[in-house]
Chain A
Amino acid sequence: EAQVTQNPRYLITVTGKKLTVTCSQNMNHEYMSWYRQDPGLGLRQIYYSMNVEVTDKGDVPEGYKVSRKEKRNFPLILESPSPNQTSLYFCASSSPEGGYTFGSGTRLTVV
């Protein structure tokens, strides 16, 4: 089944403790991206990647890092999480023909 898999689904952490949210897709898509969704602010893009070793900032990249060492994986790294990064995070991938596939989401709480 074609899918984007994120882990973990839920995470509670403390301020400053580095964490990584993993994202993997099995569709051989070149394009991958991360979004966060907050009440009243909607879905906003954090980072995206057009291909392996090619990443770029989205609309809200501050406090996040990403890497794209292989086509299928696109982890989101929070080096020093803060409470304002408490959010619902989605990873997505797409093909040049369009049509994004989103993961099931990771609900992150930073206390």
Chain B
Amino acid sequence: LAKTTQPISMDSYEGQEVNITCSHNNIATNDYITWYQQFPSQGPRFIIQGYKTKVTNEVASLFIPADRKSSTLSLPRVSLSDTAVYYCLVVSEAAGNKLTFGGGTRVLVKP
């Protein structure tokens, strides 16, 4: 299973764009990348997932370069309510699409 590395914490301000980069050097050909958000004492919430290039939905964008050894979650114009822990995960079909969580990135959005 590909190990992921992401910053422990990041600070931002309301209205700014937040970019969280995750490295996953050992990603396998059929693995895909997924991101989750978690608020204190709540279950993780699915944000976005992708295999390559760029994926965008109503809350975030995910950029994956051609070598797929890293990915960047982009949160446009964050608000105070985006303060949370964000997890980058590499999911392997061979491992039954199991989610293996790392430490995540604690994002603090300031007024």
Say yes or no: is A22 at the interface (Cβ < 8 Å to chain B): no
Chain A positions within 8 Å of B96 at CB level: 31, 48, 50
Stretch at the interface among A13-21, A61-69, A77-85, A88-96: A88-96
Mark contacts of A36-75 with chain B using CB atoms, 8 A cut-off: 1 yes-contact digit, 0 otherwise.
Answer: 0000001111001010000000110000000000000000
State whether B97 touches A31 (Cβ < 8 A): yes
* Size of the chain B interface, CB-CB below 8 angstroms: 20
- Verify B44–A43 contact, CB threshold 8 A: yes
Q: What is the CA–CA distance of A100 and B49 in the complex, to the nearest angstrom?
A: 11
The size of the chain A interface, using a CB distance under 8 A, is: 26
Contacting pair B97 A94 (CB below 8 A): yes
Residue of A with least CB distance to B100: A45
- As a 0/1 sequence over residues 69 to 100 of chain B, the CB contacts with chain A under 8 angstroms (1 = contact) are 00000000000000000000001000011111
B46 touches A101 (CB 8 A): yes
Per a CB cutoff under 8 Å, which of A45, A50, A102 touches B44? A102
Contact in complex: B43, A98 (CB < 8 Å): no
Contact B43 A104 (CB under 8 A): yes
- Rounded to whole angstroms, the CA-CA distance of A103 and B38 in the bound complex is 12
Q: Which residues of B contact A (CB under 8 A)?
A: 32, 34, 36, 41-46, 49, 91, 96-104
